[in-house]
Amino acid sequence: MGLVGAGFVGPHHIDAVRRLGFVDIVAVAGSSEASGTQKAHALGARKGYGSYQALIDDPDVHVVHNATPNHLHYEVTSAALRKGKHVVSDKPLAMTASESKKLVDEAKRAGVVTAVTFNYRGNPLVQHARQAIARGEIGTPRFVHGHYLQDWLLHETDYSWRLDPAKGGASSALGDIGSHWCDLAQHLTGLTITQVLGDVTTSIPKRKKPRGSREAFAPPSPEGFGGPGATATDAVDVVDITVEDLASVLVRFDNGAKGMFSVGQVCAGHKNDLVLEICGTTSSVRWRQEHQNELWWGHRERANEVLQKDPSLINEHGRPYAHLPGGHQEAWADAFCNLMRDIYRSIADGPPYRTLPPAVATFEDGYRANRIVEAILDSARQGGVWTQVS
């Protein structure tokens, strides 16, 4: 594998692939020769490159992982496909739906293995719930609701490239984390979001942007300031923010089910608080990312239940994604590794590449995620009207 972009999430791609045990971690490309070399050394890759083109040109690199900021997703992925490389793209697949559509077509032409890391799908209890819902264990889904809330942009001194439309795209909270919620809602229910109504807010319209560059989720300075932004001593520019950091959305699904979710990056105390509940015609089921080893089942005629992750208690769809006995917690990085296992098994088997299991999001799924976010922004722009997902 070769990794382009080794900031916050890139190293987790390497960790996950390294755990498979049969993949050579060949190279890392950074934004400069110096950072490529330094990051390759730190992450135990054999080579460091100062440009993604050099990494893609390396004949030893068969699989390119794209973990760059959003504005580079299209060009890096497209260049890799042109060279016939397999691509694992972090989400969003591209910055706009039209770029994503091009990548869907380019990937088809390239005939390689491609995937987008909507990684919450890789959790064993998510796979268990998906199968249980498909078997009718909650009846027919009728109401899907939840939220994805974080607090890392709470202060006006918090800043990230995600807030700059030229680098992050037209959306911040919806594109970054709302896309995960929508993907998971559709994956769990097997339904498609067809219409949306969005109320979108920029709650901090001016922020202090540090003049130096900082990676997402960088640890706070020794003074305790900052996290992803300016420290007390940083030189800053005050910049206008146009993208949303908060949104509430009503959704309709193709079977007539209704839904609603909120996203926010300015909600104190919420770290990575993704919650999704599906109320069916007979029972309900809820999964919480921050308590991901538990699945709540709600009933009317009998007591509610909590299923703890345990390979001996979960169904045959969840079991391959669980690697530890009951009571041993599995988490974010394990779910990420599960996706890599599915993707690299297919690559290792060679052509003709078999269809990846449903736990792995495809480029089509990535394209759909862009279209949902764009429809929500359109809806909000029109003052909050029901808008078809194209």
Residues 109-138 that bind ligand NAD (CB under 6 A): 117, 119
Positive/negative CA dihedral, 32, 243, 388, 273: positive
| CB of residue 123 to ligand NAD, shortest distance in Å | 12
Q: Which of 1, 2, 7, 264 binds ligand NAD (CB under 6 A)?
A: 7
- The C-alpha atoms of residue 18 and residue 9 are separated, in whole angstroms, by 15
d(CA 331, CA 312): 18
Q: 6 or 241, CB closer to ligand NAD?
A: 6
Total binding residues toward ligand NAD, as defined by CB under 6 A: 23
| Residue span binding ligand NAD (CB under 6 A) among the ranges 40-48, 69-77, 122-130, 359-367 | 69-77
**What minimum distance in Å lies between the beta carbon of 279 and ligand NAD?**
26
H or E segment to which residue 79 belongs: helix 73-82
Residue 30 within binding range of ligand NAD, rule CB under 6 A: yes
By the rule CB under 6 A, 229 interacts with ligand NAD: no
- Yes or no: say if 136 and 323 are a contact pair by the CB < 8 Å rule: no
As to burial, measured by CB atoms within 10 angstroms (0-12 exposed, 13-18 middle, 19+ buried), residue 148 is buried
Residues ≥6 apart with Cβ < 8 Å to 297: 283, 284, 285, 304, 305, 306, 307
Let me know how long the chain is: 390
Which one among 6, 132, 174, 373 touches ligand NAD, defined by CB under 6 A?
6
Can you read off the two tokens belonging to residue 121? Answer: 């799908």
User: Whose Cβ is closer to ligand NAD: residue 95's or residue 250's?
Assistant: 95
Q: Which of left, alpha, beta for 190 (phi over 0: left; psi -120 to 50: alpha)?
A: left
Of 5-13, 99-107, 243-251, 282-290, the segment contacting ligand NAD by CB under 6 A is 5-13
Which residue number, 213 or 312, has a Cβ lying nearer to ligand NAD? 213
CA atoms within 13 A on the CB side of 80: 30
Neighbour-count burial of 246, counting CB atoms closer than 10 A to its CB (0-12 exposed, 13-18 middle, 19+ buried)? buried
Q: Tell which residue, 31, 263, 287, has the closest CA to residue 152.
A: 263
Q: For ligand NAD, which stretch binds (CB under 6 A), given 4-12, 138-146, 302-310, 319-327?
A: 4-12
Per-residue binder mask for ligand NAD (CB under 6 A), 150-179, x = binder:
--------------------------x---
Residue least distant from ligand NAD (Cβ): 7
Residue 96 makes contact with ligand NAD by CB under 6 A: no
| Site for ligand NAD contains 65 (CB under 6 A) | no
Of 67, 95, 243, 257, the one binding ligand NAD (CB under 6 A) is: 67
Using CB under 6 A, list all residues that contact ligand NAD.
Answer: 4-10, 29-31, 52, 67-70, 72, 90-91, 117, 119, 176, 215-216
